[in-house]
Structures are given as structure tokens and as C-alpha cells.
A = this chain, B = another copy of it.
Amino acid sequence: MYVETQEEEPEIKIPLPRVGITNLRTIAKINWKGRIYTFIPTFEVTIDLPREKKGIHMSRLVESITDAMSEAVEEEVKKIHTSLEELALAVIKRLEEKHKHKRAEVWIRTTLILEKTTPASRKLSYEPYDVEVAVIKEGKDVKKRLKVRVIGNTACPHAMANNNGKTHIQRAIGELEVMADFNEEIALEDMIEVVESSFSSPTYTLLKTPDENAVVRKMYENPKFVEDVAREILMKAREKFPGRIHVRVISNESIHKHDVIAEAWA
């Protein structure tokens, strides 16, 4: 009835490993212990395109997301901390029924809000963390990539040694990525903890005066270069998590207009 241009032979017959939709924002739902949690992630979903087809059917990728979401509320996720991976895998399963492919990737970017306790007054503080989860399926092989981005700080040890304990301090951002088999159990919360505990001090949304004092003390007792932060994240991550690891720390220097960076792989 309709022309299916996608099924035609292309002029240039080269296979493409990643074709799909990106920057798609939609509502996602998780049923945990009988309660529905909603959030608005950004999706990228791609499949491979064989050399003899002109294009993929993009709308089937969108339908796979929508279908996975509506079924998600019927099935309980067993563990809240692996729910983003389960959601991504659920999209791939729908996709397998809808569109032939050899390789599929689902990337989900969102913000987690975790409850923390402030260091002195022990008040509740809600902390935001950017996270990204990908599930990549090629044949029977299923891998995942988990990324967290945490805001902390650095107090410079070099300036401290040269200024009788005074130093420059600044906001810093730590990123940790773990690439592992889908079945490895790795909690995003544990990854966040690895990064957050490696700064001069963690940061908090709410700080009353005694809490502020505690953070100030902690930063001066714990001076660190970005190099120190990166090494500590790397060491802890290798101990805790299986798979390949990528670490990147960027410090928004308070004495410069530019940033400094330390990056490593393991």
C-alpha cells in the first residue's frame, strides 16, 4: 500500500553499525514494590543497517520505547538499582519483535536524586546526579555501560604547602564509567559513592552553619589535585567493579578562567 523506501537497495552499499533516534525525551515508569515511579529520561536507540538496505524503520524504535514503558508498570522491577538497565533491555526485547537487526543499543540519560545526611546537623539533603546507562546487544552477547557524574570539590595541596595552610578551593566534577557484562551486578549508587568519597569533600544541597563548618574543615584536612581525585576513583573502582573503567575529573579552578583535567582508563 505504501512505498517502503527503506527496503530498497542503496546506491552505496556499506553497512552502518549505528542508525536510529537520538535526543528523544519521554516519560519512563518503573514499578518497584507495587509503587510506580516516573521520570523523564532522554533516549538514544540504534540498530545496525546491513549493506543491502537503504534505511531502517525509525518509527519501530519509537514504538519499542513506548511499548516497553507501558508494560513496565505491569511487571515489578526486582532491584531498584538495576532498573535503568532492565528498562533498556526491555526496549531491546520489544525491538527484536519489530525490526530485524544484528546489533542494538539503548542509551538512557537521566538524573538521580539520592537522600544524603548532612555531616553535622544530620539533616536530610536531596542530591542530584547525572547518570547514563546503555545496554548493547550483539547476537547473544549483552553488555552494559554505566556512567555517573558527581559534583564535588578540590582544595589545592600545592598552594596549601606554600601559603601556611591557606589554599584555593573549587567545584570539581568527577565522571566514572564502567563497561561490563549485562549480568554483573553494579549499582549506580555505589559508583556515585566511589566518586563522591574521592574529592576533598562531598557537596550538599542543604548546609546549616555547623554543616558548612564541617565541610570547610574536611576540605582543608584533605587537599587534593585532580590527579589525586582521579587516582582514588580509579583505585576504588578497580577494587569494586568488574569490567573496563574510564575516569575523568575536571576542576573549575577558582584562580583561573579555564579548567584542569585528569583522565585514565583501566
Q: Which residues of A approach B to under 8 Å, CB–CB?
A: 2-6, 10-12, 14-27, 37-40, 44, 46, 49, 54-56, 58-59, 62-63, 66, 111, 113, 124-128, 151, 153, 157-159, 161-163, 165-171, 201, 203-210, 212-213, 215-217, 219-220, 225-228, 230-232, 234-235, 250, 252-265
Contacts and interface: CB of A to CB of B under 8 A. Distances in A.
Contact of A27 (B54, B113, B170): B113
B262 A206 contact: no
A1 to B, nearest CB: 8
Nearest to A27: B113
13 contacts: A2-B162, A2-B210, A5-B225, A10-B228, A21-B260, A26-B128, A26-B205, A40-B128, A56-B227, A59-B209, A170-B171, A252-B252, A254-B254
A6 B25 CA distance: 36
A215 to B, nearest CB: 5
Contacts of A203: 253-257
Given A16-B227, A21-B261, A37-B38, 9 more contacts: A21-B259, A24-B258, A55-B225, A62-B206, A66-B125, A159-B213, A162-B213, A167-B216, A204-B255
Contacts of A204: 255-257
Q: Which of A16, A40, A46, A54 has the most CB of B within 10 A?
A: A16
A253 B162 CA distance: 24
Contacts of A205: 24, 26, 62, 256-258
Contact of A16 (B5, B124, B230): B230
Nearest to A15: B264
